A and B are shown apart, each in its own frame.
Chain A
């Protein structure tokens, strides 16, 4: 059922910018069109690009927003989960709780 929804109507999660739009919904309470526009403006791309895996693969690489390892491609020298979230917080200009806690616990503040 999860996969059915993802294919029928989902933005695509981390393969696209679905997770970034979700962050603007959950932290700022933005409706979908406003959340998509906000993210597109911050990424410097079109709203259509946000649901396009090909466009977002490059955009996520350029901005260090994290990508999913696939069979033939690993990204060990690129940002991992927590590192990507540092970049996401910067790019979207929002605090991310796990990043803030990480900084505090690692003595980075």
Chain B
């Protein structure tokens, strides 16, 4: 009887699989990415290396000496000590962070704008206490500008009624509000002394959300060439909620990580963060192979650093509040070894 190896599903639950089952899932995950995103499947060498990682009985896995990458830690801290500045110090001193990020627990530029003076004071205080680079981050979060929470007509209600032109116009109206809020926050944070801005989960509300982010990123880069601009994606595929929006001649809807990289590079981002969603019912091997296949062409082409999102539910890390060490370390190592990423 074949030996059964402990591993995980995408929801974090512990399962046992044979070596042959793990190998089959690695192939299937890679092929799933190739089929959907029209990327090359992983090479046999890649799959063999992943098989070694996922069939090891060790509880922990790590990269080789010299292969260490930069950890940017969007959303540093857990809000568990109710002291956001102190949490930045914790991440610097105790979690090995290479970069940290101050954030507000209502993680949206629209929400931050209402408490901006307090957030900028907090950022200034954090800069007095930390050495490592400090980002300020929030979500663009375009959906907040739709009624009843925001001023623009609700495009998600208009579309099912077939009122497509009105839905598109509503999104463009929302984009104007969003760009205004993001710029307001960025200007204040730069004045307070921030090192960089993180537009986190860009595209969460689809192509219009991403367009507003790209335009603002370009403006930041042109205004302050030494301020970092990190754009982390919301998902592996840009949803076409509008469907016709373009950035510098390229349609945003339907872009996979490689297309997202090109758009973010054109917008002047200095760090690109692809996100590949986890399928909670598939194995960690399947999910990680799929993530690697989607991200490998990104790092092969990138001219800016690629920091892969590898938190709960993305990048092969299980969708659970406490991602197990065995699973997270394998996903972490696999992304570095296979994709030659610049950071996480």
Question: Cβ of B52: which chain A residues have Cβ within 8 Å of it?
Answer: none
Shortest beta-carbon distance, B161 to chain A, in Å?
42
Q: How far apart sit A102 and B95, CA to CA, in the bound complex (Å)?
A: 27
Within 8 A of B (CB), among A1-42: 1-15, 18-19, 21-23, 25-32, 35
CB pair A10–B71 under 8 Å, yes or no, is: yes
CB pair A8–B328 under 8 Å, yes or no, is: yes
CB pair A3–B96 under 8 Å, yes or no, is: yes
Question: Which of B98, B193, B325 is the one whose CB lies under 8 Å from A19?
Answer: B98
The answer to whether A97 and B95 touch (CB under 8 A), given A4-B332, A5-B328, is no
Contact with B along A91-104 (1 / 0, CB 8 A): 00011111001100
CB pair A11–B68 under 8 Å, yes or no, is: yes
CB pair A11–B69 under 8 Å, yes or no, is: yes
CB pair A1–B192 under 8 Å, yes or no, is: no
Q: How far apart sit A84 and B61, CA to CA, in the bound complex (Å)?
A: 34
Find the A residue at minimum CB distance from B224. A97
Question: Cβ of B72: which chain A residues have Cβ within 8 Å of it?
Answer: 22, 26
Interface on chain A toward B: helix, strand, loop, or mixed SS? helix
The answer to whether A97 and B92 touch (CB under 8 A), given A9-B69, A81-B130, is no
CB pair A97–B194 under 8 Å, yes or no, is: yes
Contact with B along A65-103 (1 / 0, CB 8 A): 110110000000000011011001000001111100110
Question: Cβ of B61: which chain A residues have Cβ within 8 Å of it?
Answer: 8
Interface size range on B against A: 35 or more
CB pair B270–A29 under 8 Å, yes or no, is: yes
Find the A residue at minimum CB distance from B324. A4
Chain A: residues with Cβ within 8 Å of the partner, total of 48
CB pair A25–B65 under 8 Å, yes or no, is: no
Question: Cβ of A31: which chain B residues have Cβ within 8 Å of it?
Answer: 302-305, 342
Question: Cβ of B230: which chain A residues have Cβ within 8 Å of it?
Answer: 26
Question: Cβ of A94: which chain B residues have Cβ within 8 Å of it?
Answer: 226
Shortest beta-carbon distance, B287 to chain A, in Å?
16
The answer to whether A9 and B95 touch (CB under 8 A), given A4-B328, A81-B131, A98-B195, is no
Q: How far apart sit A4 and B76, CA to CA, in the bound complex (Å)?
A: 14
The answer to whether A1 and B270 touch (CB under 8 A), given A11-B98, A27-B228, is no
The answer to whether A6 and B343 touch (CB under 8 A), given A25-B271, A98-B127, is no
The answer to whether A6 and B67 touch (CB under 8 A), given A19-B132, A95-B226, is no
Within 8 A of A (CB), among B182-225: 190-196, 224
Shortest beta-carbon distance, B183 to chain A, in Å?
17
CB pair A7–B60 under 8 Å, yes or no, is: yes
> Known contacts A27-B226, A35-B305, A65-B131; can you find 14 more A-B pairs with CB under 8 A?
A1-B322, A5-B328, A11-B71, A14-B92, A22-B70, A22-B99, A26-B72, A29-B270, A29-B305, A32-B305, A51-B68, A88-B131, A94-B226, A97-B227
Show 15 A/B contacts (Cβ-Cβ < 8 Å), sorted by A: A2-B96, A4-B323, A9-B344, A12-B68, A13-B92, A13-B98, A18-B132, A19-B92, A22-B99, A26-B271, A31-B304, A81-B129, A97-B224, A98-B134, A101-B193
